[in-house]
Amino acid sequence: MCSCFFHVDLDAFFASVEQEDQPQYKGRPVIVGADPQKRGVVSACSYEARKFGIHSAMPISEAFRRCPQGVFLPVRMERYHEISEKIMAALKNYTPHFIQISVDEASLDLSGMEKLFGPPREVAWRIKEEIRELTGLTLSVGIAPNRYLAKLASEYEKPNGLTQILPGQEESFVNRLELRELWGVGPKTLDRLKELNIRNVVELRAYPQAALKAMIGEAMADFLHRVIRGQSPAIHENPPKSHSVSAELTFEQDCKNREVIKKTLLSLSQQLMTRLMNEEGKSRTLVLKVRTFDFSTSSVRKTYPYYISSSETMYKNALDLLDQKWDSTTPLRLIGLGFAQVEKEEKSFQGELFEEARDKAKRLEEAVFDIKKKWNGVSLTKASLLSRKAQDKNEREKK
């Protein structure tokens, strides 16, 4: 039986949802992200906007400079999740071996399903048709003998693409790609390869593996060795052992107001704790990242003797880390916080004899989490995080 993996990737997802919801923007360059008059980055943009050289993660001001006539829209994450859920539910009908990779990407294992669904290409067309009818959105499908190649294939003819790599064609497909198109190869690796005078996949394949290991590290060299031969680097095949959960915020204006920074950390702590609990993870390691006004970026990492089990504890520790990294006078451009070395929380739980303040905070956190889960949409937060406006509104309502 041949392995047959599908990688499904929605085209310019956020921007397409906006264009679908507001048809007057169809055919126009739509840029979803921060307010162009303020600071922040592009979260997503339509293919029309990409013609102007705009891409996601670009500073929003730069996007505005390149395309002042563009339609700049704020991020409506809840709406995207809503659409995404519909799509993922539809995709799940095709196979039980389904992995959602992100809000707009999924990997499907359809090995041995040919008798049930027909040839893979036909299945791909059916999927595309079904999603288009359901949401009006287009997507690109890659079909390949492993998940990694399927991902590369889905990128190959975007948007609205369909690329199939048949068994035996793996190497010749990879030969056609540029090194930067290999998913997982970042700018640093590209620089090193350039220094080694390796310009394409064929040259990389000819390079002695031992020398490559010495130059770019064992893990990366092994990864490349596999992917340029069309083999699976085992991505998404096993759930990762540990990963990180992090978030960051770029201030609208460089900030050196300690109170504002503290409040930001508190808000990040709350977000991250909820995310960690959502994925049933636990972690003892915190990472704090700061970027100062001159773009110099540094981070500090600390592992604690206990699991960080409440936003309260996370926030307190984050403040300690902040003191280590920040002199209280240099204006900050960005601040980020995250859990590293996230492990899976076991279902069984051994009770503690000596309950500490931390354990109580954990139980409070769990209670808040349960409320949020039960009453979908209810927001429960620290009073200090309520904006002035919301507080005023609250008071008016009380009156």
Residues that bind another protein (CB under 8 A): 305-306, 346-354
Measured from the CB atom, the residue of 203 and 356 that comes closer to another protein is: 356
- Comparing CB distances to another protein, the nearer of 23 and 239 is 239
CB of 34 to another protein, least distance (A): 42
Of 295 and 354, CB closest to another protein: 354
Distance CA 374, CA 155 (A): 38
DSSP state of 328: S
CB-CB contact of 361 with 250 (8 Å)? no
Nearer to another protein, 240 or 351 (CB): 351
Minimum CB separation from another protein for residue 266, in Å? 26
Beta strand pairing call for 281-282 and 98-102 = unpaired
Which residue, 129 or 366, is less far from another protein as judged by CB?
A: 366
**How many CB atoms lie under 10 A from the CB of residue 361?**
17
Q: Tell me the pairing of strands 332-344 and 243-255.
A: antiparallel
Q: Please tell me the distance from the alpha carbon of residue 28 to that of residue 359, in angstroms, as a whole number.
A: 53
First to last CA, the chain: 71
CB 163 within 8 A of CB 151: no
Contacts of 390 (CB under 8 A, 6+ apart): none
- What are the angstrom distances between the C-alpha of 280 and each of 97, 309, 361? 21, 11, 17
Q: Least separation, in Å, of the C-beta of 347 and another protein? A: 8
Residue 366 beta carbon to another protein: minimum distance, rounded to whole angstroms? 12
Beta bridge partners, 334, equal 250, 291
Question: In this complex, which beta carbon is closest to another protein, that of residue 291 or of residue 362?
Answer: 362
Q: How many angstroms separate the CA atoms of 300 and 302, rounded?
A: 7
Quick one: 222 or 359, whose CB is closer to another protein?
359
Kindly state the tokens that stand for 353. 């004899």
The SS3 call for residue 336 is: strand
d(CA 180, CA 345): 36
| Choice among 48, 105, 312, 365 that is catalytic | 105
Q: From the CB of 241, what's the least distance to another protein, in Å?
A: 15
Q: How far is the CB of 66 from another protein (least distance, A)?
A: 52
User: What are the structure tokens assigned to 385, written together?
Assistant: 């995080």
For residue 365, indicate whether it is catalytic.
Answer: no
CB of 307 to another protein, least distance (A): 11
Return all residues near 116 (Cβ < 8 A) that are at least 6 apart: none
CA–chain centroid gap for 337, Å, is 15
Instruction: Report the catalytic residues.
Output: 105
